[in-house]
Chain A
Amino acid sequence: MQSPEPRRNWLAPRNYFSVQRWELFGTGLFNLLVFSILFIYLFPTLYMVAASFMESIQLRDRNAPPYPSRQVRFAYEGKEYLVYDVPMGENESRPLALVAPGRTSSQFVDPANPEAGLITWDGNWRALVGVYRFHVTTDNFKILFDSLRLPQMVRNTLVVALITEIGVLFSSIIVAYGFARFPLPGGNLLFYLMIATILIPEKVTLIPTYFFFVRILGWEGSWLPVLVPFFFGNAVYIFLLRQNFKSIPKELEEAATLDGAGPIRTLFSVVLPQSWPVVITVSLLHFFYIWNETRQVSLYLSTRRDLAPVSFGIQNFQSLSPVQNQLQASALLIMIVPVIVLLLSQRFFMRGVVITGMEKD
């Protein structure tokens, strides 16, 4: 829209801090800030990623670099020797293979020139720093794949996640709409009762619940104790959805009512399209819950190995193998699917925004 720029007067003082430049600079600075925060925030998790590709020996080595690596070895006269960075005089050092370690003097061989024979160096070899080379091992993951029936376990988890996802979303949305918009007998009392059920620790009601499911309903060795309660809504999700429904103005719903839409139709065609972000959030939270769920499963499914979900398998693996890098690898492996789900869900977040904007016009 701007008119063509007039001929520039080269003698006039130039404005280096134009609005556009300032904006660009600010955007750059802002991105730098966010990415630095992200780096600091995730720094310890990098350790997890690195450790799961390391050999056990590296985890105990205090001089090893942070990335997965292995100390360089050199074969000399039929045997392998570790290579160290040996200081030689002022500001100079050479990578030498340690052949005969000693407390006050050690003998080395030069990998570049083994024919020269043994080199004697005075000093404590324990103070030396090794020479490392980048080396990735996938053994930690191989052990996991060998000892667990991962495809079957992932399938079990996904089936349960899908079934409960449908049940919990449908029922929670309807109940939340009831709590958000309708007067109820006893005022807020029923709502407080629902909040109270999430405040009471699960473990306190554990034994009565177990008794009910196993002794009265006979649901041991099946997924039913996990599946069925979700079809009656989940208090946390109901609370979250209710907060969202209450933050939407009522005019559109009243218009839909005047047009003859019933409450369920109003909910699904008027209220829900404005609530996509929170519905996606609820379904994500539920998916992550099912993905990590081990408590209920350990109670009701410990006898049925063929029905075990992936979380249970990984947890058993973790309790049997106390090796740090294998544990880190198993943790990393179990996070892959949630990360993919999270990435895929982001596009729906965007869609939610678009629909919200349209509906509010």
Chain B
Amino acid sequence: MNNIPRFRWRYDKTLGLLLISPWLIGFLLFKFLPILASLVLSFTDFYLIEPEATRFIGLENYRRLFQDQAVGYLLFATISMAITTIPLQIVSSILLAALLNSRRLAGSTPLRTLFFLPSIIPSVAIGLMWFGFVDPNTGWLNRFILQPLGLAGFNNVFSDAAIALLFTINSLWSIGPGMLIILGAMQGISDEIMEAARVDGAGPMVRFFRITLPMISPAIFFSLIINLIAVFGGVILLDRGNLFSGSSSPFDGYISYWLFEEWELGYAASLAWFFFVLVMVVIVALFASSRYWVYYPDRDV
């Protein structure tokens, strides 16, 4: 009779609520009121220079937003940025993690650190380094890469091609944390599964697409959501120490403009909330789609 445990816990709602209570309390204490306040602000004409004159103006800010021509343009720019950089970042971090996970690689420990390195360069330094690197006269890009190859040099650092290259390199230089997360997931795959597949005659390609990718799909899903949030101006996984006003996302930059240049908090808040609703719809849709392509061993929870 001693074998029967005295206390048996079950996966129930009360226990779940208890476990997530630290976050819930923190949310109610530090996040809920500021978020609510910004929602309320979006229905007012709050102007930081004259806070006393604030009036409740209903949906006026949202009406203004739909007539603002910059909104449509910047929304388009942000979405095209998301469509180009997110797949680039995810695919390159998976490929890099797969390379670094290989047993054949010599010195994989320092290599991981070196590949991670550009992701922790402070934001001030990264811009400087870039403009020093592409400088038409003294920069290395013209002198040591383009000219020896007989290619035409970069003359305008702010040309469309240069800016596109900067964005590409900047997004490739931010894959460090994503790479680390996917690498961690790859290392969690047990050797027995791989060995069993090998014995059954699965080649490296089949093993990668049929075993590795499904097993790391929860990590890929995380990267997708977090990259999406970062492109649209939310939390960045690895913060380079940007300023409040600094942003790489066009639409987020527009919110910053109304906040820090014009001090019109009401309009800035309405822009942010409009944008929030749009992106949240995409995120909820992605979560709904995850049951078809993200593999969790126990689906019942």
Contacts and interface: CB of A to CB of B under 8 A. Distances in A.
Interface in A182-227: 182-185, 188, 190, 192-209, 212
A102 interface: no
Interface in A153-182: 171, 174-175, 177-182
B202 interface: no
B73 to A, nearest CB: 19
A51 B22 contact: no
B70 interface: no
A202 B235 contact: yes
A259 B2 CA distance: 12
A76 interface: no
B112 A346 contact: yes
Contact of A59 (B113, B132, B287): B132
B72 interface: no
Contacts of A324: 128, 132
Contacts of B13: 182-185
If over half of A's interface residues share one DSSP class (helix, strand or loop), that class is named, otherwise mixed; here it is: helix
Interface of A: 26-27, 30-31, 33-34, 37-38, 41-45, 47-48, 51, 59-62, 64, 66, 171, 174-175, 177-185, 188, 190, 192-209, 212, 228-229, 231-233, 235-236, 238-240, 243-244, 246-250, 257-260, 262-263, 274, 277-278, 280-281, 284-285, 288-289, 291-295, 311, 314-315, 318, 324, 327-328, 330-332, 334-335, 338-339, 342-343, 346-347, 349, 352-353, 356-357, 360
30 contacts: A44-B140, A45-B118, A47-B132, A48-B129, A175-B23, A178-B16, A181-B301, A184-B16, A198-B229, A201-B252, A203-B259, A205-B35, A205-B38, A212-B30, A212-B34, A232-B23, A232-B27, A236-B235, A246-B218, A246-B296, A248-B297, A274-B188, A327-B125, A331-B121, A335-B120, A335-B122, A343-B113, A346-B109, A346-B112, A356-B188
Given A199-B283, A311-B122, A324-B132, 8 more contacts: A45-B121, A202-B244, A209-B34, A232-B29, A259-B5, A292-B239, A343-B109, A347-B109
Interface of B: 5-9, 11-13, 15-20, 22-27, 29-31, 33-35, 37-38, 48, 99-100, 102, 104-106, 109-118, 120-122, 124-125, 128-130, 132-133, 137-138, 140, 143-144, 169, 172, 177, 180-181, 183-185, 187-188, 190-192, 215, 218-219, 221-222, 225-226, 229, 232-235, 237-245, 252, 255-256, 259-260, 265, 268-269, 272, 276, 279-280, 283-284, 287, 295-298, 301
